[in-house]
């Protein structure tokens, strides 16, 4: 079921979302200051390509409060808008019964896009 869901996801927009995240990641990594944010955007791109069968979990041994500070900067710079976009698409897809599995994937992407530091994809 995960393979079929991922194929449908890629065909109907997942590839476009993936490419947008990869381009943003490359642009962020061009600057020294943007490298940590570029790496998080790359994490989002990997989940955006094949979200079915993947889970987002907290890193249990995250040192210090650096991830919290980085998450606050991320939210202020643009993470809130990325997250709201995924939540909006999730709500629109949840209106139909067929779209519910895809809505759940957008909600998962929205939660990761809101605070990506200190989390990993398994």
pLDDT tens track for 34-83:
999 999 999 999 999 999 999 999 887 766 788 889 999 999 998 999 99
What is the rounded CA–CA span in Å between residue 60 and residue 80?
24
Lowest mean pLDDT across 17-31, 34-48, 55-69, 84-98: 55-69
Locate 94 and state its tokens: 């949840």
Which residue reads 């079915």 in tokens?
52
Q: What is the pLDDT of residue 113?
A: 93
- Average pLDDT taken over every residue of the chain: 92
Q: What is the pLDDT of residue 59?
A: 82
- Direct distance between the N- and C-terminal alpha carbons of the chain, in angstroms, rounded to an integer: 17
pTM tops 0.85: yes
Do residues 29 and 63 make contact, with C-beta atoms less than 8 angstroms apart? Answer: no
User: Is residue 109 within a helix (H) or strand (E), and if so which, with residue range?
Assistant: helix 100-114
Answer whether residue 22 shows pLDDT above 80. yes
SS3 call for 56: strand
């Amino acid at each position: 079921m995960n393979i079929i869901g991922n194929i449908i996801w890629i065909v109907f927009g997942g590839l476009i979302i993936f490419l947008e995240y990869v381009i943003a990641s490359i642009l962020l990594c061009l600057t020294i200051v943007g490298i940590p944010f570029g790496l998080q955007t790359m994490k989002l791109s990997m989940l955006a390509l094949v979200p079915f069968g993947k889970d987002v979990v907290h890193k249990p041994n995250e040192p210090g409060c650096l991830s919290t500070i980085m998450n606050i900067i991320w939210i202020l710079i643009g993470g809130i808008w990325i997250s709201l976009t995924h939540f909006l698409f999730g709500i629109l897809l949840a209106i139909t019964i067929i779209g519910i599995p895809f809505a759940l994937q957008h909600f998962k992407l929205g939660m990761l896009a809101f605070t990506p530091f200190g989390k990993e994809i398994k």
